[in-house]
Amino acid sequence: MQKRSLIPCSFLLFVAAIGTIAGSSGAVAQDVAQSIDRRPWMNPQLSPEDRADLVLKQLTLDEKIALLHGNGMAHDANWQAPLTPLTNGGAGYVEGEKRLGIPSLVISDAAYGVRDSGANGRYATAMPSSLGAASSWDAESACEYGALIGSELRAQGFNMTLGGGVDLAREPKDGRTFEYAGEDPLLAGTIVGNLMKCEQAQHVVGDIKHYAMNDQETGRNFVNAIISKRGMQESDLLAFHIAISIANPAAVMCSYNRVNGDYACENSYLLHDVLKGQWGFKGFVDSDWGGTHSTEKASAAGLDQEQPMSNFFGAKLREAVDAGRVPLSEIDDHVRRVLYAEFLSGVVDDPPQKSVVDVEKGFEVAERVEENSIVLLKNRQSVLPIVPARVHSIAIIGGHADVGMISGGGSAQVDPPGGNAILPPGKGATHWQDHIWFPTSPLLALRAKLPHTKIDFDPGTDMDSAVKLARSSDLAIVFAYQWESEGMDLANLSLPDNQDALIEKVAAANSRTIVVLETGSAVTMPWLDKVAGVVEAWYAGSSGHKALANVLVGDVNPSGKLAITFPKSEQDLPHAAIPPPPPHLRGQGSAPVNEDAPPSNYAVHYDEGAEVGYKWFQAERKTPLFPFGFGLSYTTFAYSALSIDSAAKTVRFTVRNTGTRAGTEIAEVYATLPKGSDETFQHLEGFARLAGFARIALDPGKSETVTVAIDPRVLQTYDETASSWNLAPGDYGIFAGPSSDHLPLSGSLQVR
């Protein structure tokens, strides 16, 4: 993806001015010379650090403090301030310093596309959900994803994004699972890191969130996530670290919840010790919206900017400085970080210009990413792809497939063009936590692909009618959905609205029944043995219907693999149910925290530590419904010839396409730790860690030998007492293959 050129407007002006001076009269030359921006911090040859330092010296205390808080949120009645109209309809606004050429931050949510555009009369592309994109295991898709969102943010006049969710899917019932990139630190960190790197390269301030352990929405404003340092370092924090080291984001958003007692936005361990200390993060930390709880404590812990208001980092911060309770050096550190972020991301030199969003390009990128992300979970007797010569009639049942496909809600919500597609025309406005359907009809897309096949639709609301249609068709495809949103969690992983029963009935009527899932997280499938095929399409985005139709008819060979374990039952998870908050605090899950509320001792105990997802299933010796890393193709692949270079920490092996179609294989490499050679882990872990992966496109009969680098960070263990990482000497088990539960190649890597 092309990086935008970083030649500042002021610098171009300078070049133009020189030309003009050369050929003009003295008076004109003088006028032009006066307009040349000679301010030293405008010199793009200097480092962002140096430029930030130069500006810092020019600022008064009030000007500094203005950079450390928001000024409201466009669509929230509780969060209005005098400058809120300047948010451009977005999530926030930070007043810059015009006097010095420092632009204001105009901030929008943009988890899978620019939020709230419809309400402002604008258009935005919806990309597939982040969990969907993670299923591509493809850094290039992630980069295209981020670059597209970055360019649409700019076209809409924003210069800062709130996206980049990288909390691990520790709790698959988390209502924001679709906004995150799955359960493995290496995969999630790689996907979100590349997404944000390319988004920020469009010259928007990149932001990675929600730091940290924001793994459920229930009671999110007060829940205390309790976890050992080792457990969090080797799981959720590792995902953040990998993402941050790839993206070098200008900002990190701290989360609402507490971690081991302290709110994440005033948690000195998370912000000061780990993020800024251990990882050397140089950008700024902004609080989640309403997630700031104090002035002095938060400032000392490392919060740099309160959002979206100035309850703690406005007048109170000024007072604290005047009274000597907050040292000026601390303020300077916060301000330097905000300025550094602006220079680093390019928003000073290349401010956004409002323009028309390239709709066609958005469709194209969204389709390609979705095609790489769809996961084929079951394909009995090659029921897929659909062969028109053999399939003369298809019953499409349920899931509003005649009209569109569902999307994820909350602050991630992208507005569909024309409003909610399942509502009558003119009534399509979107609201916080509505089920929003995009006008992307799989029925119409399939009809376009198969013009000579009879394709009928039944809404699935009357079982008898659905069964009748299924029985009289050669093939039945049931569309099933699981809707998710910020501010709520799923009670369980069952498909809602009686869809399991519908699938059972249709499958009983037609042995060639395929289920297409549009889900935000994993789902249970009590009917799995009875259906012939299962396709996971996730929240499929603006071109989801086309990508899906391409996969169903075989124009695209599916290649995605699960970034999250699908359990047989919630009982197999570390937490079968999310513990309910105490009665007096229920219903406050997503509301701004009530400062007068009695202190809460509501906690979740993450005793599973780093055993998240497949690691838990392996350690507990439980068999999931579908394992992490699993996904089928219309062709087959064989693995051979593993060799390991211990010094270089690389693994080489050969993958061959043994089928008759071209296809892409995601090859996965896992590692196990050496036996008890290090006293930090007396217990040998009961799981293998994902250590590397590669996507390999192969024509039929062709093979390729790939070299996969092992990321040393995933081989290390964290020593809590010494606060350090160890790479234990010994023999590490190395395994390669198509899925976490099927690793035909094995060898060992020696660390001396």
Report the nearest approach of ligand BGC to the CB of residue 171 (Å): 16
Closest to ligand BGC by CB, 309 or 556: 309
Residues in contact with 501: Cβ distance below 8 Å, sequence separation at least 6, in sequence order:
463
Report the nearest approach of ligand BGC to the CB of residue 165 (Å): 7
Closest to ligand BGC by CB, 231 or 410: 410
Give the x/- contact pattern for ligand BGC in 398-417, rule: CB under 6 A: -------------x------
Cα–Cα dist 692/190, whole Å = 10
Pairing between β-strand 224-226 and β-strand 603-605 as defined by DSSP bridges: parallel
For residue 431, is the peptide bond before it cis, meaning its omega torsion is within 30 degrees of 0? no
Cα–Cα dist 709/357, whole Å = 38
Report the nearest approach of ligand BGC to the CB of residue 72 (Å): 12
**For residue 256, which amino acid is it?**
Y
The reply to whether 184 sits near ligand BGC by the rule CB under 6 A is no
DSSP string, 88-111: TTSSEEE--BGGGTBPPEEEEE-S
In the numeric block, which tokens belong to residue 122? 């604008």
Considering only residues 490 to 549 of the shown chain, the ones binding ligand BGC according to CB under 6 A are: none
CB 511 within 8 A of CB 95: no
Report the nearest approach of ligand BGC to the CB of residue 131 (Å): 15
Report the nearest approach of ligand BGC to the CB of residue 107 (Å): 8
Closest to ligand BGC by CB, 80 or 650: 80
Closest to ligand BGC by CB, 17 or 126: 126
Number of residues that bind ligand BGC (CB under 6 A): 8
User: CA 294 → CA 107, 478, 595, 642, distances in Å?
Assistant: 23, 51, 11, 55
Closest to ligand BGC by CB, 218 or 473: 218
Of 541, 563, 562, 540, nearest to 188 (Cα)?
563
Cα–Cα dist 265/274, whole Å = 13
Report the nearest approach of ligand BGC to the CB of residue 91 (Å): 4
Report the nearest approach of ligand BGC to the CB of residue 487 (Å): 7
Residue with tokens 């309403």: 290
Cα–Cα dist 348/250, whole Å = 13
Report the nearest approach of ligand BGC to the CB of residue 207 (Å): 8
**Does an H or E element contain 12, and which?**
helix 9-22
Closest to ligand BGC by CB, 97 or 486: 486
Considering only residues 123 to 182 of the shown chain, the ones binding ligand BGC according to CB under 6 A are: 162
Pairing between β-strand 393-397 and β-strand 454-458 as defined by DSSP bridges: parallel
Closest to ligand BGC by CB, 102 or 412: 412
Radius of gyration, alpha carbons of the chain = 26
Give the x/- contact pattern for ligand BGC in 657-696, rule: CB under 6 A: ----------------------------------------
Residue with tokens 């994109």: 133
In the numeric block, which tokens belong to residue 361? 């390009």
Closest to ligand BGC by CB, 91 or 414: 91
Closest to ligand BGC by CB, 256 or 481: 256
**What crossing angle do the helices spanning 328-345 and 315-322 adopt, rounded to 10°?**
130
Of 303, 384, 246, nearest to 713 (Cα)?
246
Closest to ligand BGC by CB, 144 or 179: 179
DSSP letter assigned to residue 262: E
Residues in contact with 121: Cβ distance below 8 Å, sequence separation at least 6, in sequence order:
none
3-state secondary structure of 171: coil
The reply to whether 396 sits near ligand BGC by the rule CB under 6 A is no
User: CA 632 → CA 105, 412, 477, 571, distances in Å?
Assistant: 44, 30, 18, 26
Closest to ligand BGC by CB, 109 or 370: 109
3-state secondary structure of 18: helix
Report the nearest approach of ligand BGC to the CB of residue 210 (Å): 6
Closest to ligand BGC by CB, 214 or 703: 214
Report the nearest approach of ligand BGC to the CB of residue 162 (Å): 4
**Does an H or E element contain 636, and which?**
none
Report the nearest approach of ligand BGC to the CB of residue 25 (Å): 53
The reply to whether 109 sits near ligand BGC by the rule CB under 6 A is yes
Q: Tell me the sheet residues that pair with 705.
A: 654
Closest to ligand BGC by CB, 289 or 718: 289
Report the nearest approach of ligand BGC to the CB of residue 381 (Å): 44
CB 255 within 8 A of CB 291: yes
Closest to ligand BGC by CB, 76 or 456: 76
DSSP letter assigned to residue 269: I
Report the nearest approach of ligand BGC to the CB of residue 464 (Å): 43
Considering only residues 277 to 296 of the shown chain, the ones binding ligand BGC according to CB under 6 A are: 288-289
The reply to whether 91 sits near ligand BGC by the rule CB under 6 A is yes
Handedness of CA 382, 385, 390, 391 (dihedral sign): positive
Residues in contact with 416: Cβ distance below 8 Å, sequence separation at least 6, in sequence order:
118, 126, 404, 407, 428, 430, 436, 437, 438, 439
Residues in contact with 264: Cβ distance below 8 Å, sequence separation at least 6, in sequence order:
210, 211, 212, 213, 214, 254, 255, 256, 257, 258, 270, 291
Residues in contact with 116: Cβ distance below 8 Å, sequence separation at least 6, in sequence order:
74, 75, 89, 90, 91, 108, 109, 413, 415
Report the nearest approach of ligand BGC to the CB of residue 557 (Å): 35
Taking CA 278 as the corner, what is the angle to CA 277 and CA 280, rounded to the nearest 5 degrees?
Answer: 60
Report the nearest approach of ligand BGC to the CB of residue 257 (Å): 10
Closest to ligand BGC by CB, 244 or 749: 244
In the numeric block, which tokens belong to residue 28? 């004109």
Report the nearest approach of ligand BGC to the CB of residue 109 (Å): 5
Closest to ligand BGC by CB, 51 or 210: 210
Closest to ligand BGC by CB, 529 or 595: 595
Give the x/- contact pattern for ligand BGC in 208-227, rule: CB under 6 A: -x------------------
Considering only residues 460 to 499 of the shown chain, the ones binding ligand BGC according to CB under 6 A are: 486
Closest to ligand BGC by CB, 138 or 167: 167
Report the nearest approach of ligand BGC to the CB of residue 286 (Å): 9
Report the nearest approach of ligand BGC to the CB of residue 122 (Å): 17
3-state secondary structure of 314: coil
Which residues contact ligand BGC by CB under 6 A? 91, 109, 162, 209, 288-289, 411, 486
